[in-house]
Structure 1
Amino acid sequence: MRDVRETRHQQRRRQGVLPAAERPRRRDGRRGAARRRQRGYLVARGALSRAAVLFDIGDTLVRRPDVGPGRRIADALGLGRDEARTITGWLFREPFASPRALAERLCEAFGLSDRIAEPIGQIWYAQETEPVEVDGATACVAAVRECGARVGVVSNIWAPYEAGFRRACPKIVPLVETWQLSYCAGVAKPDPTLFRAALNALDVASAATIMVGDSLEKDVRPALALGMHAIWVTPHTETTPELDARHDAVRDAADRVRVVADLHAARTAILRFLADGRLV
């Protein structure tokens, strides 16, 4: 019998498994255990056996320009607001491969000359350089993955701005396990298609998922409608009375939504949810 045990020990050693007596012991004691709980390590064995956090991109993980690309293109071409809305819909729902491909579509739709290629190119390449990481973005996403939860991105976006996000947040990119981007899917938020695709790709239940975004209409409400939790990172352009009035719109789901001022507060709320299943 002793020979059998020794043989098993040798086999486990070759597999990289040490006997219990030889395994390194943690020396951080009670403080270390409390710290691990605070950082959400209970997600693996606690209230949530499988959880996920979905992030919006613009004005959530990176700062975006005050004027969107559709309006900027319309202004550059001397077009009106209706045309700007139409262009925005194309940008966020169609995978234009290059500035020239977009310029050709605009020429065909609005009867413009081919001289528009230059201003279109300028706006396209500007969008690749304009995104700037929001303070605390990398730390927030990294904390989610460190806890054992899964990470996805759900965003209304077009190709050059995705490239700009990847440039601005290189440490976030490898942490993202599913990219649900409107211009690739052909649909835009608040359509639930992108949210459902993220849940399916990550194999998580909606009740164990948080959506983090800056838009009440495009991030918070559709997430709540699918049974998810939501963290609303309030836009820096809104005043307190506006926020209070709009928060009234989601009071029926007060136990599943949290309004925060920045990603540092969002991170704290996320870790609490991952640790004990409660957002508020």
Structure 2
Amino acid sequence: MSRDVKAVLFDLDETLCERPRRPAERLAAAFDRAGVEPFFTADEYHRLVNEIGGTDSDIRRRERCFERLAREYDRDETVGRQVADAYQALTDYTAVQFLPGAERVLEDLEETYRLGLVTNGGPDTQSPKIDALGIRDRFETVVLAGYDTPAKPDPTPFRTAMANLDVSPERTIYVGNSLRSDIAGASASEIRSVWIPYGDPERPNRTQNRFEPDYTLESIEEALSRPWEGD
């Protein structure tokens, strides 16, 4: 069966774009704004938000995470909600910027492939980013995993994107930065994956991850080399 690639699917956050203020910095500022001594880390929050999943808004899901972390650290749930409210007040979802080379990659690949976006998050957080970057029209399908479908690494959002594009897994590539959600989800969907480990907390423990990417790049700009075309 031909493995000629017809479609390339992308993750959004820390694959194509980033916020100037890192998550750990925003969380520290939220604790300070709420007048609460820090009692959990950004990595703990991100691991838990993926575990909780669901189809709530991202804002409500974050609140549930902070409440649960408060309970786990023997704090009252109201303390978690105070920090969540402060985090939300400090967050501007339009304050995003392309990672170096990302815009050029999209411009180059759309000449050859059908492009799709598969990102964890709902319209309340992801749509402002997509529109601020001006990239909505570059994608033939946008799947908001955790809102339209279960969150990554569940294979459903990947399969939904492929169905929308009418492409098969062997003709699809997925590009993402997270071993835990992107590479694991692509593997479960039988899609070849490109791992760009920018901002991935799992990178130091990569050997403990049972999902191996098909290709590893050091930056999104390296996707211009189209490594999958050598297969």
Q: TM-score, normalised by structure 2?
A: 0.70
Match of 2:188 among 225, 237, 248: 225
| Fraction of identical pairs, as percent | 23
CA distance in 2, matches of 1:194, 1:226: 9
The reply to whether residue 122 of structure 1 matches residue 89 of structure 2 is yes
Give how far 1:118 is off: 6.5
Q: 1:134 to 1:85 in 2, by over 3 A?
A: closer
Partners of 2:11 and 2:182 within 8 A in 1: yes
Gaps of 5+ in 1: 1-45
Counterpart amino acid of 1:133? F
Match of 1:144 among 92, 109, 120: 109
Match of 2:215 among 258, 268, 276: 258
Give how far 1:269 is off: 1.8
- Within 5 Å, which residues of 2 pair with 1:27-46? none
Give how far 1:267 is off: 2.1
Partners of 2:198 and 2:219 within 8 A in 1: no
Number of residue pairs matched by the alignment: 215
Match of 1:58 among 13, 34, 48: 13
Q: Which has the larger radius of gyration?
A: 1
- Within 5 Å, which residues of 2 pair with 1:57-206? 57-64=12-19, 65-67=21-23, 75=31, 78=36, 80-81=39-40, 84=45, 88=49, 93-96=54-57, 110-111=77-78, 119=86, 121-123=88-90, 126-147=91-112, 149-170=113-134, 172-206=135-169
Partners of 1:69 and 1:88 within 8 A in 2: no
CA distance in 2, matches of 1:121, 1:263: 29
CA distance in 1, matches of 2:189, 2:116: 16
Counterpart amino acid of 1:119? A
Partners of 1:62 and 1:134 within 8 A in 2: yes
Q: 1:91 to 1:181 in 2, by over 3 A?
A: farther
CA distance in 2, matches of 1:133, 1:103: 24
Gaps of 5+ in 2: 69-76
Give how far 1:71 is off: 5.4
Give how far 1:160 is off: 4.1
Q: 1:53 to 1:86 in 2, by over 3 A?
A: closer
Q: 1:201 to 1:105 in 2, by over 3 A?
A: same
